[in-house]
Protein backbone atom coordinates (compact mmCIF):
# COMPACT_ATOMS: atom_id res chain seq x y z
CA UNK A 1 0.00 0.00 0.00
CA UNK A 2 1.40 3.41 -1.03
CA UNK A 3 0.71 6.45 1.11
CA UNK A 4 0.96 10.10 -0.10
CA UNK A 5 4.08 12.07 0.69
CA UNK A 6 4.43 14.59 3.56
CA UNK A 7 1.74 17.31 3.52
CA UNK A 8 0.90 20.25 5.74
CA UNK A 9 -0.80 17.76 8.05
CA UNK A 10 2.48 15.90 8.39
CA UNK A 11 4.29 19.15 9.23
CA UNK A 12 1.76 19.80 11.95
CA UNK A 13 2.19 16.28 13.27
CA UNK A 14 5.99 16.67 13.40
CA UNK A 15 5.59 19.90 15.36
CA UNK A 16 3.30 18.02 17.73
CA UNK A 17 5.96 15.31 18.07
CA UNK A 18 8.61 17.89 18.97
CA UNK A 19 6.27 19.41 21.56
CA UNK A 20 5.59 15.93 22.91
CA UNK A 21 9.34 15.27 23.14
CA UNK A 22 9.85 18.43 25.23
CA UNK A 23 6.91 17.46 27.44
CA UNK A 24 8.31 13.97 27.83
CA UNK A 25 11.69 15.34 28.85
CA UNK A 26 10.03 17.51 31.48
CA UNK A 27 8.04 14.54 32.72
CA UNK A 28 11.18 12.44 33.03
CA UNK A 29 12.95 15.15 35.00
CA UNK A 30 10.00 15.49 37.33
CA UNK A 31 9.88 11.75 37.63
CA UNK A 32 13.55 11.70 38.50
CA UNK A 33 13.16 14.19 41.28
CA UNK A 34 9.70 13.43 42.68
CA UNK A 35 8.79 10.11 44.34
CA UNK A 36 5.69 8.43 42.95
CA UNK A 37 4.04 8.51 46.34
CA UNK A 38 3.67 12.28 46.05
CA UNK A 39 6.56 13.17 48.35
CA UNK A 40 8.30 16.53 47.95
CA UNK A 41 10.83 16.84 45.16
CA UNK A 42 14.48 16.41 46.08
CA UNK A 43 17.08 18.89 44.78
CA UNK A 44 19.52 17.77 42.13
CA UNK A 45 22.54 18.13 44.44
CA UNK A 46 22.05 16.26 47.70
CA UNK A 47 24.13 16.71 50.87
CA UNK A 48 25.46 13.88 52.97
CA UNK A 49 23.02 12.90 55.73
CA UNK A 50 23.34 14.00 59.31
CA UNK A 51 21.93 11.40 61.68
CA UNK A 52 19.10 12.54 63.91
CA UNK A 53 15.48 11.89 64.76
CA UNK A 54 13.61 12.95 61.61
CA UNK A 55 16.29 15.44 60.61
CA UNK A 56 17.14 16.14 57.00
CA UNK A 57 20.81 16.48 56.07
CA UNK A 58 22.53 19.83 56.36
CA UNK A 59 23.39 21.54 53.09
CA UNK A 60 27.16 21.37 53.21
CA UNK A 61 28.85 22.07 49.90
CA UNK A 62 31.81 19.98 50.99
CA UNK A 63 29.71 16.80 51.29
CA UNK A 64 27.29 17.11 48.38
CA UNK A 65 26.90 14.47 45.70
CA UNK A 66 25.18 14.89 42.34
CA UNK A 67 22.14 13.20 40.85
CA UNK A 68 22.90 12.70 37.17
CA UNK A 69 20.12 12.59 34.57
CA UNK A 70 20.89 9.72 32.20
CA UNK A 71 20.43 9.54 28.43
CA UNK A 72 17.01 8.04 27.62
CA UNK A 73 18.45 6.19 24.65
CA UNK A 74 20.71 4.08 26.87
CA UNK A 75 18.00 2.91 29.28
CA UNK A 76 16.27 -0.45 28.72
CA UNK A 77 12.46 -0.37 28.84
CA UNK A 78 10.50 -2.61 31.17
CA UNK A 79 7.05 -3.10 32.65
CA UNK A 80 5.53 0.14 33.92
CA UNK A 81 7.37 2.48 31.54
CA UNK A 82 5.28 4.71 29.27
CA UNK A 83 6.18 5.27 25.59
CA UNK A 84 4.59 7.35 22.83
CA UNK A 85 4.50 6.17 19.22
CA UNK A 86 4.03 8.76 16.46
CA UNK A 87 3.82 7.69 12.78
CA UNK A 88 4.11 10.22 9.98
CA UNK A 89 1.18 10.00 7.52
CA UNK A 90 -0.53 7.19 9.45
CA UNK A 91 -2.49 8.34 12.56
CA UNK A 92 -3.79 4.82 13.22
CA UNK A 93 -0.40 3.95 14.71
CA UNK A 94 -0.27 6.99 17.01
CA UNK A 95 -0.58 5.82 20.60
CA UNK A 96 0.63 6.19 24.16
CA UNK A 97 1.21 2.84 25.82
CA UNK A 98 2.25 1.60 29.26
CA UNK A 99 4.41 -1.49 28.90
CA UNK A 100 2.56 -4.41 30.55
CA UNK A 101 4.09 -7.06 32.75
CA UNK A 102 4.60 -9.45 29.82
CA UNK A 103 6.85 -6.88 28.15
CA UNK A 104 4.98 -6.95 24.83
CA UNK A 105 2.62 -4.59 22.96
CA UNK A 106 -0.08 -5.47 20.43
CA UNK A 107 -0.27 -2.72 17.78
CA UNK A 108 -2.60 -2.32 14.80
CA UNK A 109 -1.07 -3.17 11.39
CA UNK A 110 2.02 -4.45 13.17
CA UNK A 111 0.91 -7.13 15.60
CA UNK A 112 2.74 -8.19 18.74
CA UNK A 113 6.12 -6.62 19.37
CA UNK A 114 8.65 -7.46 22.11
CA UNK A 115 9.73 -4.37 24.11
CA UNK A 116 11.02 -5.46 27.55
CA UNK A 117 14.76 -5.10 27.88
CA UNK A 118 15.16 -3.00 24.72
CA UNK A 119 16.05 0.68 24.45
CA UNK A 120 13.83 3.31 22.83
CA UNK A 121 16.04 3.25 19.71
CA UNK A 122 15.85 -0.53 19.44
CA UNK A 123 12.05 -0.46 19.78
CA UNK A 124 11.82 2.27 17.14
CA UNK A 125 14.01 0.33 14.71
CA UNK A 126 12.05 -2.86 15.27
CA UNK A 127 8.74 -1.06 14.79
CA UNK A 128 10.00 0.71 11.65
CA UNK A 129 11.10 -2.61 10.16
CA UNK A 130 7.64 -4.08 10.78
CA UNK A 131 5.91 -1.03 9.20
CA UNK A 132 8.18 -1.10 6.14
CA UNK A 133 6.96 -4.59 5.28
CA UNK A 134 3.48 -3.26 4.52
CA UNK A 135 3.72 0.52 3.99
CA UNK A 136 5.83 3.10 2.21
CA UNK A 137 6.72 6.64 3.25
CA UNK A 138 5.84 6.14 6.94
CA UNK A 139 8.39 7.13 9.52
CA UNK A 140 7.87 5.94 13.09
CA UNK A 141 9.05 7.87 16.15
CA UNK A 142 9.17 6.29 19.62
CA UNK A 143 9.47 8.63 22.59
CA UNK A 144 9.96 7.84 26.26
CA UNK A 145 7.29 9.71 28.25
CA UNK A 146 7.71 8.20 31.72
CA UNK A 147 10.03 5.64 33.27
CA UNK A 148 8.83 3.71 36.32
CA UNK A 149 10.75 0.46 36.02
CA UNK A 150 13.96 1.74 37.63
CA UNK A 151 13.18 1.30 41.33
CA UNK A 152 15.17 0.81 44.49
CA UNK A 153 13.76 -0.55 47.74
CA UNK A 154 14.75 0.91 51.13
CA UNK A 155 13.72 -0.31 54.57
CA UNK A 156 14.50 0.39 58.21
CA UNK A 157 15.19 3.68 59.97
CA UNK A 158 14.32 6.12 57.18
CA UNK A 159 11.62 8.77 57.11
CA UNK A 160 9.98 7.30 53.98
CA UNK A 161 10.89 3.60 53.62
CA UNK A 162 9.51 1.69 50.68
CA UNK A 163 9.98 1.62 46.91
CA UNK A 164 11.63 4.69 45.37
CA UNK A 165 11.25 5.50 41.68
CA UNK A 166 14.60 6.67 40.25
CA UNK A 167 13.12 7.62 36.88
CA UNK A 168 15.92 8.38 34.41
CA UNK A 169 18.34 9.66 37.07
CA UNK A 170 21.45 8.05 38.44
CA UNK A 171 21.57 8.09 42.24
CA UNK A 172 24.43 7.33 44.56
CA UNK A 173 24.05 5.84 48.02
CA UNK A 174 23.81 9.13 49.97
CA UNK A 175 21.33 10.53 47.43
CA UNK A 176 19.00 7.63 48.16
CA UNK A 177 19.08 8.44 51.88
CA UNK A 178 18.01 12.00 51.10
CA UNK A 179 15.41 10.78 48.58
CA UNK A 180 13.88 8.68 51.38
CA UNK A 181 13.68 11.70 53.71
CA UNK A 182 16.82 11.10 55.77
CA UNK A 183 17.72 8.80 58.64
CA UNK A 184 15.55 8.62 61.75
CA UNK A 185 15.90 7.00 65.16
CA UNK A 186 13.58 5.74 67.91
CA UNK A 187 12.64 7.98 70.83
CA UNK A 188 14.58 5.73 73.19
CA UNK A 189 17.76 6.41 71.23
CA UNK A 190 17.34 9.89 69.77
CA UNK A 191 20.85 10.79 68.58
CA UNK A 192 22.71 7.76 67.22
CA UNK A 193 25.97 8.29 65.41
CA UNK A 194 26.42 7.18 61.76
CA UNK A 195 28.64 4.33 62.91
CA UNK A 196 25.76 2.87 64.92
CA UNK A 197 23.73 2.12 61.77
CA UNK A 198 24.16 -1.21 60.01
CA UNK A 199 23.51 -0.70 56.30
CA UNK A 200 23.23 -3.71 54.01
CA UNK A 201 22.94 -3.56 50.20
CA UNK A 202 21.31 -6.54 48.49
CA UNK A 203 22.19 -6.59 44.78
CA UNK A 204 21.04 -9.72 42.95
CA UNK A 205 23.04 -12.49 44.67
CA UNK A 206 25.48 -10.10 46.39
CA UNK A 207 25.20 -8.90 49.98
CA UNK A 208 27.33 -5.84 50.76
CA UNK A 209 27.70 -4.24 54.21
CA UNK A 210 28.29 -0.49 53.79
CA UNK A 211 30.25 1.69 56.23
CA UNK A 212 27.87 4.64 56.65
CA UNK A 213 30.23 6.60 58.91
CA UNK A 214 33.09 6.43 56.40
CA UNK A 215 30.84 7.26 53.44
CA UNK A 216 29.42 10.33 55.22
CA UNK A 217 32.97 11.56 55.87
CA UNK A 218 34.07 10.91 52.26
CA UNK A 219 31.00 11.28 50.01
CA UNK A 220 33.08 11.52 46.81
CA UNK A 221 34.84 8.20 47.44
CA UNK A 222 33.97 5.06 45.42
CA UNK A 223 32.36 3.65 48.58
CA UNK A 224 29.44 6.01 47.89
CA UNK A 225 28.16 3.49 45.37
CA UNK A 226 26.03 4.16 42.31
CA UNK A 227 22.68 2.54 43.03
CA UNK A 228 21.32 0.16 40.42
CA UNK A 229 17.67 -0.64 39.64
CA UNK A 230 16.49 -3.55 41.76
CA UNK A 231 18.89 -2.82 44.63
CA UNK A 232 17.56 -3.22 48.16
CA UNK A 233 18.97 -1.22 51.08
CA UNK A 234 18.37 -2.01 54.74
CA UNK A 235 19.08 0.53 57.51
CA UNK A 236 19.06 -0.87 61.04
CA UNK A 237 20.45 0.36 64.35
CA UNK A 238 22.98 -1.99 65.87
CA UNK A 239 22.22 -3.04 69.43
CA UNK A 240 24.17 -1.08 72.01
CA UNK A 241 26.19 -3.12 74.47
CA UNK A 242 25.62 -1.78 77.98
CA UNK A 243 28.90 -0.89 79.68
CA UNK A 244 29.12 0.55 83.15
CA UNK A 245 31.56 1.74 85.77
CA UNK A 246 31.22 1.87 89.56
CA UNK A 247 32.14 4.92 91.65
CA UNK A 248 32.63 4.41 95.40
CA UNK A 249 33.98 6.37 98.35
CA UNK A 250 33.81 10.10 99.04
CA UNK A 251 31.29 10.97 96.34
CA UNK A 252 27.73 12.33 96.74
CA UNK A 253 26.03 9.49 94.80
CA UNK A 254 27.82 6.16 94.87
CA UNK A 255 26.71 3.59 92.31
CA UNK A 256 26.99 2.25 88.75
CA UNK A 257 27.05 4.63 85.76
CA UNK A 258 26.92 3.91 81.99
CA UNK A 259 30.03 4.54 79.90
CA UNK A 260 30.94 4.60 76.23
CA UNK A 261 34.10 5.34 74.25
CA UNK A 262 33.66 9.09 74.88
CA UNK A 263 33.19 8.93 78.68
CA UNK A 264 35.58 11.02 80.78
CA UNK A 265 35.96 11.37 84.51
CA UNK A 266 34.40 14.84 84.31
CA UNK A 267 31.30 13.46 82.58
CA UNK A 268 31.08 10.77 85.27
CA UNK A 269 31.27 13.37 88.05
CA UNK A 270 28.51 15.25 86.24
CA UNK A 271 26.29 12.25 87.03
CA UNK A 272 27.62 11.19 90.44
CA UNK A 273 28.52 14.61 91.83
CA UNK A 274 32.01 15.91 92.55
CA UNK A 275 34.16 14.52 95.38
CA UNK A 276 33.51 16.20 98.72
CA UNK A 277 36.08 18.06 100.81
CA UNK A 278 36.80 14.95 102.88
CA UNK A 279 38.15 13.05 99.86
CA UNK A 280 41.81 12.11 99.39
CA UNK A 281 42.03 13.00 95.71
CA UNK A 282 45.71 12.10 95.42
CA UNK A 283 45.07 8.60 96.72
CA UNK A 284 42.14 7.69 94.41
CA UNK A 285 42.56 4.61 92.25
CA UNK A 286 40.83 2.48 89.60
CA UNK A 287 40.30 -1.24 90.20
CA UNK A 288 40.37 -3.19 86.92
CA UNK A 289 40.23 -6.91 87.47
CA UNK A 290 43.14 -7.71 89.75
CA UNK A 291 44.95 -4.45 88.97
CA UNK A 292 44.95 -1.30 91.08
CA UNK A 293 45.67 1.76 88.91
CA UNK A 294 46.66 5.03 90.67
CA UNK A 295 44.24 7.80 89.68
CA UNK A 296 45.29 11.20 91.07
CA UNK A 297 42.26 13.47 90.74
CA UNK A 298 43.84 16.68 92.03
CA UNK A 299 44.56 18.16 88.54
CA UNK A 300 40.83 18.22 87.78
CA UNK A 301 40.20 20.78 90.51
CA UNK A 302 42.81 23.24 89.22
CA UNK A 303 40.56 24.42 86.35
CA UNK A 304 42.47 22.52 83.64
CA UNK A 305 40.48 19.72 81.97
CA UNK A 306 43.03 18.83 79.27
CA UNK A 307 44.93 16.51 81.58
CA UNK A 308 45.93 12.87 81.40
CA UNK A 309 43.41 11.99 84.09
CA UNK A 310 40.52 13.34 82.00
CA UNK A 311 41.80 11.38 78.97
CA UNK A 312 41.79 8.12 80.91
CA UNK A 313 39.94 5.40 78.98
CA UNK A 314 37.61 3.40 81.21
CA UNK A 315 36.76 -0.26 80.69
CA UNK A 316 33.57 -2.12 81.45
CA UNK A 317 33.12 -2.87 85.17
CA UNK A 318 35.99 -0.60 86.29
CA UNK A 319 35.70 0.67 89.86
CA UNK A 320 36.78 4.19 90.85
CA UNK A 321 37.46 4.43 94.56
CA UNK A 322 37.99 7.80 96.26
CA UNK A 323 39.17 7.25 99.86
CA UNK A 324 38.60 9.59 102.79
CA UNK A 325 41.32 12.09 103.53
CA UNK A 326 43.17 11.67 106.84
CA UNK A 327 44.22 15.32 106.84
CA UNK A 328 42.21 17.45 109.28
CA UNK A 329 42.26 20.67 111.27
CA UNK A 330 40.50 21.32 114.57
CA UNK A 331 38.29 24.18 115.71
CA UNK A 332 37.55 24.20 119.45
CA UNK A 333 36.04 26.44 122.07
CA UNK A 334 33.35 29.09 121.66
CA UNK A 335 32.07 28.13 118.19
CA UNK A 336 28.85 26.72 116.86
CA UNK A 337 30.29 23.32 115.99
CA UNK A 338 33.48 22.00 117.61
CA UNK A 339 35.53 19.16 116.21
CA UNK A 340 37.83 17.97 113.44
CA UNK A 341 37.24 19.12 109.87
CA UNK A 342 38.70 17.68 106.64
CA UNK A 343 41.62 19.58 105.20
CA UNK A 344 41.18 19.63 101.39
CA UNK A 345 44.10 18.36 99.31
CA UNK A 346 43.33 20.66 96.39
CA UNK A 347 43.64 23.99 98.19
CA UNK A 348 44.28 26.00 101.33
CA UNK A 349 42.18 26.78 104.38
CA UNK A 350 42.45 30.21 105.96
CA UNK A 351 41.61 31.09 109.53
CA UNK A 352 38.41 32.90 108.49
CA UNK A 353 37.32 29.91 106.40
CA UNK A 354 37.88 27.63 109.40
CA UNK A 355 35.76 29.90 111.61
CA UNK A 356 33.01 30.03 108.98
CA UNK A 357 32.95 26.24 108.81
CA UNK A 358 32.66 25.90 112.58
CA UNK A 359 30.31 28.88 112.96
CA UNK A 360 30.97 31.93 115.12
CA UNK A 361 28.86 32.64 118.20
CA UNK A 362 28.48 35.85 120.31
CA UNK A 363 30.07 34.26 123.38
CA UNK A 364 33.45 33.80 121.67
CA UNK A 365 36.35 36.15 122.24
CA UNK A 366 37.42 36.78 118.65
CA UNK A 367 39.96 39.38 119.73
CA UNK A 368 42.12 36.53 121.00
CA UNK A 369 41.91 33.58 118.62
CA UNK A 370 44.65 31.00 119.13
CA UNK A 371 46.19 29.13 116.18
CA UNK A 372 48.17 26.23 117.66
CA UNK A 373 50.65 24.42 115.40
CA UNK A 374 53.08 21.63 116.20
CA UNK A 375 56.54 22.24 114.67
CA UNK A 376 59.36 19.74 115.34
CA UNK A 377 57.45 18.35 118.29
CA UNK A 378 56.92 21.75 119.89
CA UNK A 379 53.69 23.69 120.24
CA UNK A 380 53.59 27.15 118.67
CA UNK A 381 50.68 29.43 119.64
CA UNK A 382 49.87 32.37 117.34
CA UNK A 383 47.38 34.92 118.66
CA UNK A 384 45.16 36.64 116.05
CA UNK A 385 42.73 39.52 116.62
CA UNK A 386 40.00 38.43 114.20
CA UNK A 387 37.67 41.29 115.20
CA UNK A 388 40.22 43.91 114.22
CA UNK A 389 41.22 42.00 111.07
CA UNK A 390 37.63 42.02 109.84
CA UNK A 391 36.85 45.62 110.85
CA UNK A 392 40.00 47.11 109.35
CA UNK A 393 40.41 44.67 106.45
CA UNK A 394 43.84 43.49 107.61
CA UNK A 395 43.74 40.32 105.50
CA UNK A 396 47.48 39.82 105.99
CA UNK A 397 46.55 38.49 109.46
CA UNK A 398 44.26 35.85 107.92
CA UNK A 399 46.57 32.98 108.81
CA UNK A 400 46.65 30.07 106.31
CA UNK A 401 46.14 26.86 108.23
CA UNK A 402 48.03 23.63 107.78
CA UNK A 403 46.90 20.05 108.38
CA UNK A 404 46.63 19.20 112.09
CA UNK A 405 46.43 22.89 113.15
CA UNK A 406 44.16 23.72 116.08
CA UNK A 407 42.07 26.89 116.26
CA UNK A 408 40.90 27.70 119.78
CA UNK A 409 38.48 30.49 120.72
CA UNK A 410 38.02 31.29 124.41
CA UNK A 411 34.99 32.97 126.02
CA UNK A 412 34.66 36.72 126.35
CA UNK A 413 36.15 37.87 129.66
CA UNK A 414 33.70 38.75 132.44
CA UNK A 415 34.22 39.74 136.07
CA UNK A 416 33.12 36.76 138.09
CA UNK A 417 34.18 34.94 141.21
CA UNK A 418 34.25 31.37 139.88
CA UNK A 419 34.91 29.86 136.39
CA UNK A 420 32.20 27.86 134.64
CA UNK A 421 32.37 24.07 134.46
CA UNK A 422 33.28 24.25 130.73
CA UNK A 423 36.02 26.80 131.36
CA UNK A 424 37.38 24.71 134.21
CA UNK A 425 37.86 21.57 132.10
CA UNK A 426 38.68 23.30 128.77
CA UNK A 427 42.49 23.13 129.22
CA UNK A 428 42.32 19.44 130.13
CA UNK A 429 40.13 18.65 127.13
CA UNK A 430 42.43 20.58 124.83
CA UNK A 431 45.50 18.76 126.18
CA UNK A 432 43.82 15.44 125.51
CA UNK A 433 43.13 16.53 121.92
CA UNK A 434 46.85 17.32 121.54
CA UNK A 435 47.76 13.89 122.82
CA UNK A 436 49.08 15.14 126.16
CA UNK A 437 48.13 13.45 129.44
CA UNK A 438 47.96 15.87 132.39
CA UNK A 439 47.51 13.05 134.93
Could you tell me if 197 and 218 lie in one domain? Answer: yes
Q: Is the pLDDT of residue 6 over 50?
A: no
Could you tell me if 128 and 18 lie in one domain? Answer: yes
Could you tell me if 292 and 370 lie in one domain? Answer: no
78 Cβ neighbours under 8 A, 6+ residues apart: 99, 103, 116, 117, 149
pLDDT in tens, 78-103: 999 999 999 998 888 899 999 999 99
* DSSP one-letter string for 343-401: --TTS-EEHHHHHHHH-B-TTEEEEEEEEEEEETTEEEEEEE-HHHHHHHT-GGG-PEE
The pair phi, psi for residue 123, each rounded to 5°, is -65, -40
Using the 8-state DSSP alphabet, how is residue 129 labeled? H
Mean pLDDT value across the chain: 80
Distance CA 422, CA 424 (A): 5
Among 209, 240, 271, the domain-final residue is: 240
Could you tell me if 22 and 91 lie in one domain? Answer: yes
Could you tell me if 318 and 349 lie in one domain? Answer: no
Distance CA 364, CA 362 (A): 6
Poorest-confidence range of 26-40, 153-167, 279-293, 346-360?
Answer: 26-40
Kindly state the percentage of the chain with pLDDT values over 70.
Answer: 77
Could you tell me if 335 and 213 lie in one domain? Answer: no
Average pLDDT over residues 398-415: 86
Could you tell me if 333 and 423 lie in one domain? Answer: yes
Q: Is the full-model pTM beyond 0.85? A: no
Residue-number span of the structural domain to which 139 is assigned:
8-33+76-146
- Are 66 and 45 spatial neighbours (Cβ–Cβ below 8 Å)? yes
Average pLDDT over residues 141-148: 93
- Are 254 and 248 spatial neighbours (Cβ–Cβ below 8 Å)? yes
Could you tell me if 64 and 209 lie in one domain? Answer: yes
Alpha helices, H only, 211-307: 212-217, 265-272
Among 146, 178, 206, the domain-final residue is: 146
Could you tell me if 346 and 307 lie in one domain? Answer: no
Q: Is residue 359 part of a domain?
A: yes
- Are 159 and 23 spatial neighbours (Cβ–Cβ below 8 Å)? no
CATH of the domain at 127: 3.30.1950.10
Could you tell me if 424 and 317 lie in one domain? Answer: no
Q: Is the pLDDT of residue 62 over 50?
A: no
CATH of the domain at 236: 3.10.560.10
Average pLDDT over residues 416-432: 54
Residue 331: beta bridge partners? 339, 407
Could you tell me if 283 and 411 lie in one domain? Answer: no
Q: Is residue 2 part of a domain?
A: no
Exposed / middle / buried, residue 352 (Cβ in 10 Å: 0-12, 13-18, 19+): middle
Confidence category of residue 52, pLDDT binned at 50, 70, 90: very low
Number of domains composing the chain: 4
166 Cβ neighbours under 8 A, 6+ residues apart: 32, 150, 151, 152, 227, 229
Q: Is residue 363 part of a domain?
A: yes
Nearest to 126 by CA among 85, 98, 158, 157: 85
Q: Is residue 101 part of a domain?
A: yes
Rg (C-alpha) for the chain, rounded Å, is: 43
Among 240, 263, 298, the domain-final residue is: 240
Q: Is residue 1 part of a domain?
A: no
Q: Is residue 100 part of a domain?
A: yes
Distance CA 290, CA 436 (A): 43
Q: Is residue 439 part of a domain?
A: no
Distance CA 1, CA 134 (A): 7
Q: Is residue 86 part of a domain?
A: yes
pLDDT in tens, 228-275: 999 999 999 998 777 899 999 999 999 999 998 888 898 899 999 988
Could you tell me if 176 and 308 lie in one domain? Answer: no
The pLDDT value given to residue 58: 39
Amino acid sequence: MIRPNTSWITVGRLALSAFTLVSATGSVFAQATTPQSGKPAQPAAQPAPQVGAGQTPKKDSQTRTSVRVMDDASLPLNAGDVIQIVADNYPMLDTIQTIPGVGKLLLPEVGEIEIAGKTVKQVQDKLQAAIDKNFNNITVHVLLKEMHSRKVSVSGFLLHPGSLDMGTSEYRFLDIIDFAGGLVAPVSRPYPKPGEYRVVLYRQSEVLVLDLEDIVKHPESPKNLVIQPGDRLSFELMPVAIHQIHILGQIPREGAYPIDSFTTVLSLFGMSGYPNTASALSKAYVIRGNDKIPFDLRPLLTGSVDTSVNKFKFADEDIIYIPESKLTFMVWGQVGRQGNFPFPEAGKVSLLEALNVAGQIPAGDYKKVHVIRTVDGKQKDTLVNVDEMVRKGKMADNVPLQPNDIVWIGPKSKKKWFPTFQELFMPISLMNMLGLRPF
